Structure 1
Amino acid sequence: MTDANQIDEPDADESLADRVRSHIKGNRTGMIQDLAFAVVWVTIVSVLYDFVFSASPRWVLYMFMLAGIPAYFGFFISLEMARAQ
């Protein structure tokens, strides 16, 4: 999905901090995009549940949150398709 660089296998003498640093360096933009999507999705769902659907049962909130999974993949797949054109 994301444009992650291929990371080499960790060396035996490489510390945990070095491995974490190289993982973050290779996946920085993907991690930021994932975090931004999650924050925006949870904010929108929370606002909808608190104000628009305030009289609905709690499982509606969980269904909205669960709908974030296909929304995430649909958004990023359509973004890749738009970039390809």
Structure 2
Amino acid sequence: MTDTDSPDDAETDQSFADRLRSQVRENRTGMVGDLVFAIIWVTFASLLYDFAFPTAPRWVLYMFMLAGIPAYFGFFISVEMAKQSR
């Protein structure tokens, strides 16, 4: 292991809880946005699978869930582009 892979001395003095608290404090709005998107997407995909395609095989649900990955990046990239164009 090289010196560049080792954590800083200040980080080694912190406990896991302190590092977690610091990470959440720094990224609070981003984490909340990610959580809200995930909840909405999973709800949407589940409802779509249960009511729009009730006879579809189970793998269709998994495809709906996987479609959330490009949807997530597409949504947040478009939000960033809209913020920059203001």
TM-score, length basis structure 2? 0.84
Question: Is there any run of 5+ residues in structure 2 with no aligned partner, and where?
Answer: 1-7
Distance 1:64 1:9, change over 3 A: farther
Looking at both structures, which has the greater relative contact order when contacts are Cα pairs under 8 Å and sequence separation is at least 6? 1
Once the two structures are superposed, the pairs formed by residues 1-85 of structure 1 within 5 Å of their partners are 10-85=10-85
**CA apart distance, 1:42:** 0.2
Deviations, residues 6-47 of structure 1 (Å, cap 9, x unaligned): xx8743322221111101001111110000000000000000
Deviations, residues 39-81 of structure 1 (Å, cap 9, x unaligned): 0000000001001100111111010000000000000000000
Distance in 1 (CA, whole Å) between partners of 2:39 and 2:9 is 31
Measured on the aligned residues, the alpha-carbon RMSD in Å equals 1.5
Q: Answer yes or no: is the 8 Å Cα contact 1:10–1:19 preserved in 2.
A: no
Q: Answer yes or no: is the 8 Å Cα contact 1:42–1:65 preserved in 2.
A: yes
For residue 12 of structure 1, give the secondary structure of its aligned residue in structure 2: helix
Report sequence identity in percent: 65
Aligned AA (2:69): I
TM-score, length basis structure 1? 0.85
Q: Answer yes or no: is the 8 Å Cα contact 1:37–1:72 preserved in 2.
A: yes
